[in-house]
Amino acid sequence: MRRLALVLVLPLLSACGPGSQEAPGKPGAAGPGGPGMPPPEVGVVEAGRGAVTLTPELPGRVAAVRTAQVRARVEGIVEKQLFKDGSDVRAGQALFQLDNRTYRTAAQAAEAEVEVKRLNLQRIEALLPIKAVSQQEADVARAALKQAEAQLAKARLDLENTTVPAPIAGRIGRALVTEGALVGRDEATLLATIEQLEPVHVLFTQPNADVLRLKAALAKGTLKAAEGRSVELILENGQAYPHKGRLTFSDMSVDPATGAITLKAEFPNPERLLLPGTFVRVRLAQAVASDVIAVPQRAVLSGAQGQFVLLVGPDDKVMPRPVKVGAMAGDRFVIEEGLAGGERVIVAGVQKAKPGTVVKPVPAAKAP
Query: Can you give the CATH number for the domain in which 296 is found?
Result: 2.40.420.20
Q: 304 and 226 in one domain?
A: no
Residue 294's domain comprises 41-53+290-366
Strand partners, 333: 295, 328
Give buried/exposed letters for 45-59 (b at 16+ CB in 10 A, else e): bebeeeebbbbbbbe
**CATH number of the domain enclosing 115:** 2.40.50.100
The angle formed by the CA atoms of residues 201, 239 and 343, to the nearest 5 degrees, is 120
Could you tell me if residue 206 is inside a domain?
Answer: yes
Distance CA 210, CA 222 (A): 15
Distance CA 86, CA 66 (A): 16
Distance CA 274, CA 64 (A): 9
The angle formed by the CA atoms of residues 46, 358 and 354, to the nearest 5 degrees, is 85
Q: 362 and 304 in one domain?
A: yes
Could you tell me if residue 18 is inside a domain?
Answer: no
What is the model's pLDDT at position 214?
A: 79
**CA R_g for the chain:** 40
**CATH number of the domain enclosing 213:** 2.40.30.170
Q: 204 and 185 in one domain?
A: no
- Which domain-ending residue is among 195, 227, 261? 195
Q: 205 and 191 in one domain?
A: no
CA distances to 115, 131, 142 from 137, in Å: 18, 11, 9
Could you tell me if residue 3 is inside a domain?
Answer: no
Q: 307 and 220 in one domain?
A: no
Give the 3-state secondary structure of 94-131. EEEEECCHHHHHHHHHHHHHHHHHHHHHHHHHHHCCCC
Q: 353 and 316 in one domain?
A: yes
Q: 309 and 220 in one domain?
A: no
- Are 114 and 145 in contact by the 8 Å Cβ rule? The answer is yes
Is pTM beyond 0.75? Reply is no
Distance CA 8, CA 186 (A): 111
User: What interhelical angle do 101-127 and 135-160 show, nearest 10?
Assistant: 160
Hey, which bits of 211-275 come out as E strands? 224-225, 230-234, 245-250, 260-267
Amino acid (1-letter code) at residue 153: A
Q: 112 and 224 in one domain?
A: no
Please choose, from the candidates 299, 264, 269, the residue with its C-alpha nearest in 3D space to the C-alpha of residue 284. Answer: 264
Domain count along the chain = 3
H-run or E-run covering 71: strand 67-71
Q: 171 and 96 in one domain?
A: yes
Say how many CA atoms lie within 13 Å of 310 toward its Cβ.
Answer: 26
Instruction: Kindly report the backbone phi and psi dihedral angles of residue 306, in degrees, each rounded to the nearest multiple of 5, phi listed first.
Output: 115, -160
Query: Contacts by 84-87 with C-beta closer than 8 Å and gap 24+?
Result: 85/172, 85/173, 85/174, 85/175, 86/171, 86/172, 86/173, 86/174, 87/171, 87/172
Could you tell me if residue 236 is inside a domain?
Answer: yes
pLDDT tens for each residue of the chain, 368 residues long: 344 344 444 444 444 444 444 444 334 333 334 456 788 888 888 888 888 877 788 889 999 988 999 998 899 999 999 999 988 899 989 999 999 999 999 999 999 999 999 999 999 888 888 888 888 988 899 999 999 999 999 999 999 999 999 999 989 999 999 899 998 887 888 999 999 888 899 998 888 887 787 788 777 776 776 666 678 888 888 888 888 888 888 887 888 888 888 888 899 988 888 888 889 998 887 778 778 888 888 888 888 888 888 888 888 888 888 888 877 787 788 888 888 888 888 888 888 888 888 888 888 775 55
Q: 186 and 101 in one domain?
A: yes
Could you tell me if residue 27 is inside a domain?
Answer: no
What is the model's pLDDT at position 368?
A: 52
Q: 276 and 354 in one domain?
A: no
Bridge-based pairing of strands 360-363 and 41-46 is parallel
Could you tell me if residue 265 is inside a domain?
Answer: yes
- Are 307 and 322 in contact by the 8 Å Cβ rule? The answer is yes
Distance CA 82, CA 94 (A): 7
Q: 254 and 177 in one domain?
A: no
- Which domain-ending residue is among 171, 195, 219? 195
Please choose, from the candidates 273, 69, 329, the residue with its C-alpha nearest in 3D space to the C-alpha of residue 190. Answer: 69
- Which domain-ending residue is among 259, 285, 311? 285
